[in-house]
Amino acid sequence: MNAILPPGLPAAPVPLIPDSAPFTPAQRAWLNGFLAGLYGGAAAVAANASPGAAPAPAEEFPWHDPALELEDRLKLAEGRPLNRRLMAAMAQLDCGQCGYLCQTYAEALASGAETSAALCVPGAKATQKALKALLAEAPAAVPKPAAAPVPAAAAGRPVRVVAAHRLTGECSAKDVRHVVIDLADSGLAYEPGDSLSVAAPNDPALVEAVLAALGAADDAALREELLHRRDIARPLDRTLDLLAGAARHAPHAAALRALADGDDGAEPADADLLDLLAAFPSARPPVADLIASLPVLKPRLYSIASSPLACPGRVELCVGVVRADRRGRLRDGVASCHLAFRADAATPLQAHVQTSHFRLPADAATPVIMVGPGTGIAPFRAFLQHREAIGAKGRAWLFFGDQRSATDFLFGEEIAAWKAKGVLTQLSLAWSRDGRDKVYVQHRMTEAATDLWRWLQDGAHVYVCGDASRMAKDVDAALRGIARSEGGMNADQARDWIVALARQGRYQRDVY
DSSP per-residue letters across 270-332: T--HHHHHHH-TT----HHHHHHHSPB-PPEEEEB---TTTSTTEEEEEEE--EEEETTEEEE
What pLDDT shows up at residue 155? 67
Q: What residues contact residue 258 under an 8 Å CB cut-off, 6+ apart? A: 266
Instruction: Please report the pLDDT score of residue 99 as a whole number.
Output: 80
CATH class assigned to 157-200+299-354 = mainly beta
Q: Where are the domains of the chain?
A: 1-60+357-512, 70-141, 157-200+299-354, 205-293
Select from 93, 144, 6 the least CA-distant residue to 469.
Answer: 93
Tell me which fold the domain 205-293 belongs to: NADPH-cytochrome p450 Reductase; Chain A, domain 3 (1.20.990)
Mean pLDDT of successive 10-residue stretches along the chain, which has 512 residues: 39 50 55 48 40 61 80 91 94 80 92 88 85 82 43 73 97 97 96 96 97 97 97 92 97 95 87 96 97 93 97 98 92 96 96 93 97 98 98 97 98 98 98 96 98 97 91 94 97 91 91 82
Q: 3-state DSSP call for residue 2?
A: coil
- Distance (Å, whole) CA 298 – CA 301: 9
User: Which of 294, 445, 452, 263 minimizes the C-alpha distance to 372?
Assistant: 445
Triad 111, 116, 119: Cα angle to 5°: 115
- Which has the closest alpha carbon to 342: 184, 170, 206, 200? 200
CATH 3.40.50.80 fits 1-60+357-512, yes or no: yes
> How much is the pLDDT for 121?
81
CB contact at 8 A, 357 and 294: no
Q: Give the count of beta carbons closer than 10 Å to the beta carbon of residue 272.
A: 21
Distance, in Å, from the CA atom of 321 to the CA atom of 335, rounded to the nearest integer, reads 9
Tell me the C-alpha distance between 319 and 299, whole Å. 14
Q: Within 13 Å, how many C-alpha atoms sit on residue 168's CB side?
A: 20
Give the pairing type, strands 329-332 and 323-326.
antiparallel
- Residue pair 300/320 in contact (Cβ under 8 Å)? The answer is no
Asked whether 300 and 197 are in contact (CB, 8 A), the reply is: yes
Candidates 289, 50, 267; CA nearest to 148 is 289
- Greatest CA span in the chain, whole angstroms? 78
- Among 323, 322, 248, which residue's Cα sits nearest to residue 282? 248
- Write down the pTM of the prediction: 0.82
CA atoms within 13 A on the CB side of 484: 12
pLDDT of residue 98: 82
Q: Is the dihedral of CA 401, 405, 407, 409 positive or negative?
A: positive
pLDDT of amino acid 140 = 55
Residue 377: predicted pLDDT: 98
CA atoms 434, 438, 441, 447: torsion sign:
negative
DSSP 207: H
Tell me the C-alpha distance between 80 and 96, whole Å.
24
Rounded distance between C-alpha atoms, residue 212 and residue 210, angstroms = 5
